[in-house]
Amino acid sequence: MPNPSPEKSHALQWVDDNQQSLSDFHRQIWRHAEPAWREYRSAAAFCDILESEGFHVERGSGQMPTAFLATYGSGGPVLGTYAEYDAVPDNSQQPVPYQAPRDGLHPWAAGHTDPHSSLGVAALAGILAAKSAIDRHNLKGAIAIFGEPAEKVCGSKPVHAAKGYYDDFDAFIAYHPHPTNTTIWDTHCGSYWSAVFTFECHDPEAWVDPELLSGPNHPHSAPRCPGALDALCLMYTTTKYTKEAMHPHTGAWTLNEFIMAGGQCTSDNLPPRFSQIQYAWRSPNLDIQQRIYNVLENNARSAAEATGCEVSIRWVTKTRVGLPNHAMAQLTYDNLALVGPPVLDEDARDFGRAVQQNLGLDQMENPFTDECQQLISPTDFEAQVRQQLPPWQANYTSDDYVDYTWHAPTVRLHTARPSLKPPTPGYLYPAWVRNALGGVSSCIDPGMFVAAKTIATTLVDLLTQPDLLAKAQEEFRIRTGGGIGGDKWVAPLLPKDFPPPIDLRWPEYVDTPRGREWWLPTPIA
């Protein structure tokens, strides 16, 4: 591996020099643990740092209060990356080696699972290191970091894309913590769509046969209109029965649902007037996505008709599928190899062994998996992924970074989050273990700093070596049939005037006279 250039050496040193403050900031975001569309404190904290570093910051970009766009520099290529910072409901956990939801909140409050806290801070560190190299070496070009809320519902990136935020960029770096250290070669993420079906019982009186009333103004003596709650339940069960009609019987796909609102939330003999159920589905291609939606829409209209309701449909998101770029994948992997894999020290191992002890397992000398402590080439990782997929399937799982890939050449970078070795084949650690590891600095920081250095050095290469960027852009033009608007290009699936679904009843923290609470109040006992 050749020695890094002076510009890259400066960026690498910047990350080393700022590790403590970055680690402290990560713990701050991890403790906020704010869920999708409600990351107010986290987004503000990122914006404050970027403004203090001289970035021009647009807060609330794309009509999303917890999104932002921060830009710096001019006079050359325009390069971008992004931060995420949303946590996941039902995953509250303290950074301790045993199961312990955070004190003072409902036990099923949110927590960071992947964790997006380290994703966001790695991207922030990478962009700040590149900015320092720009200043020190007078580099020409602009760098930008987006604040992307609500990734867990694939929320903000399709909105930014639809509103034109990605159109003038020359390349993007998309990062995510993962069990491995690599870049994605061909099998990028598939598509994720989500919609909310709202049932409203506007005219329950129309259901009542007046001849069945025991007397005038006694509507309770006649059969009650089923109403919105029955509509929701009928939608739920009908969709379960028709699930097999939606999907191919090979490949990976999911269809999940969540009851967002149940009307008055009080048992009564009046017909429920309002209910909402959210569906989210992901599959390898857009044709399957549309087929699933067609069935869901038919089920919703049938349920409404059967229960005396009207149904309306509100889109939450619609993503495309990921578009590969080998040039970007190879360039970024070369920088990952320059940096090297994460190194988990004895403090991290002590924590891992404490987890194993508390679970009644034998403690291992090195409790972490080999995969999270070594590199795997993009092509070798691709071969592993393809072993579990049918030949026809081009995409796998889902993440809304895919919308970046259709606007400029984009790499998907993975660095390893800490993962414990199973004591026996097939053993699965409880979910709280992964969440706890993400909040312990000695465990999560190594992968976070490897990602930051890889992002920074890749940005510097793209700013200082025009041939590398040109190669990636030529591949992008070929894959899209001419670039944005080409005959193979896929346009954003949401309209430009799409209203972000920030007003829906998403889980959040609330401030009351009792203090700060999760939206489900803390149980008395």
What is the per-residue pLDDT across 271-292, written as a single tens digit (0 to 9) for each?
A: 889 999 999 999 999 999 999 9
pLDDT over threshold 60, residue 264: yes
Sheet holding 68-74, edge to edge: 56-59, 68-74, 141-147, 78-83, 171-178, 410-416, 182-183
Helical segments of 38-184, H only: 40-52, 116-137, 156-162
- H or E element in which residue 380 lies: helix 378-386
Residue 419 lies in a domain: yes
Higher pLDDT, 247 or 468: 468
Q: Find the range with the poorest average confidence among 4-18, 69-83, 209-223, 457-471.
A: 209-223
Residue 425, domain member (yes or no): yes
Indicate the SS3 state at residue 147: strand
Between residues 524 and 353, which one has the greater pLDDT?
A: 353
Task: Check residue 323 and give its pLDDT.
Answer: 98
**pLDDT for residue 203 is more than 80:** yes
| Residues 137 and 175 both lie in one domain | yes
Query: Is 360 part of a structural domain of the chain?
Result: yes
pLDDT of residue 219: 56
Structural domain contains residue 89: yes
Kindly state whether residue 519 falls inside one of the protein's structural domains.
no
pLDDT in tens, 480-516: 999 999 999 999 999 999 999 999 999 999 998 888 8
pLDDT value of residue 122? 98
Q: What is the pLDDT of residues 9-45, one digit of tens each?
A: 999 999 999 999 999 999 999 999 999 999 999 999 9
Judge if 379 and 274 occupy the same domain: no
Assess whether 299 and 180 both reside in one domain. no
- 189 near 322, Cβ under 8 Å? yes
**Which parts of 225-325 fold into alpha helices (H)?**
227-242, 286-306
At which of 446, 464, 480 does a domain end? 480
Do residues 19 and 82 both lie within one domain? yes
pTM for the full predicted model: 0.95
Question: With bands split at pLDDT 50, 70 and 90, how would you rate the model's confidence at 386?
Answer: very high
Verify that 177 and 289 share a domain, yes or no: no
Listed residue (34, 19, 14) closest to 444, CA to CA: 19
The per-residue pLDDT for range 111-128, each reduced to its tens digit, is 999 999 999 999 999 999
pLDDT digits (tens, 9 = 90+) for 303-320: 999 999 999 999 999 999
262 and 223: one domain? Answer: yes
Q: Quick check: helix, strand or coil at residue 475?
A: helix
- Look up the CATH number of the domain holding residue 333: 3.40.630.10
- The helix (run of H) or strand (run of E) holding residue 466 is helix 466-480
3-state secondary structure of 270: coil
Do 197 and 346 lie in a common domain?
A: no
Start-end of H helices in 243-323: 286-306
- Pick the last residue of a domain from 273, 296, 317: 317
Q: What is the pLDDT of residues 55-86, one digit of tens each?
A: 999 999 999 999 999 999 999 999 999 999 99
Average pLDDT, the chain: 94
**Same domain, yes or no: 216 and 250:** yes
* pLDDT band, very low/low/confident/very high, at 222 (cuts 50, 70, 90): low
Taking each helix axis as running N to C, give the angle between helix 19-32 and helix 40-52, from 0 to 180 degrees, rounded to the nearest 10. 160
pLDDT of residue 213: 62
- The pLDDT of residue 266: 66
Reduced to 3 states (helix: H, G, I; strand: E, B; else coil), residue 96 is: coil
Does residue 360 come out as left (phi exceeding 0), alpha (psi in the -120 to 50 range) or beta?
left
**Based on the domain organization, do 179 and 209 belong to the same domain?**
no
Classify residue 420 by its DSSP letter.
B
Q: Which residues contact 132 (CB under 8 A, 6 or more apart)?
A: 10, 11, 14
Closest Cα partner for 414 from 222, 180, 235?
180
Average pLDDT over residues 177-183: 98
pLDDT at 1 over 80: no
> Taking residues 448-470, what's their average pLDDT?
98
Is residue 61 domain-resident? yes
- 518: pLDDT confidence band, cut at 50, 70 and 90? very high
- Count of domains in the chain? 2
Q: Which domain holds residue 219?
A: 191-317
Q: What percent of the chain has pLDDT over 70?
A: 96
400-422 residue pLDDT tens: 999 999 999 999 999 999 999 99
Rg value, the chain, Cα? 25
- Judge if 312 and 333 occupy the same domain: no
Task: Single out the residue in 300, 317, 334 at which a domain terminates.
Answer: 317
Q: Tell me if 491 is assigned to some domain.
A: no
User: Are 65 and 152 found together in one domain?
Assistant: yes
Same domain, yes or no, for 279 and 357? no
CA distance 242 to 244: 6
Whether the predicted pLDDT of 208 surpasses 80 = no
pLDDT at residue number 389 = 93
Q: What is the CATH number of the domain that holds 302?
A: 3.30.70.360
Least confident of 172-176, 308-312, 373-377, 517-521: 517-521
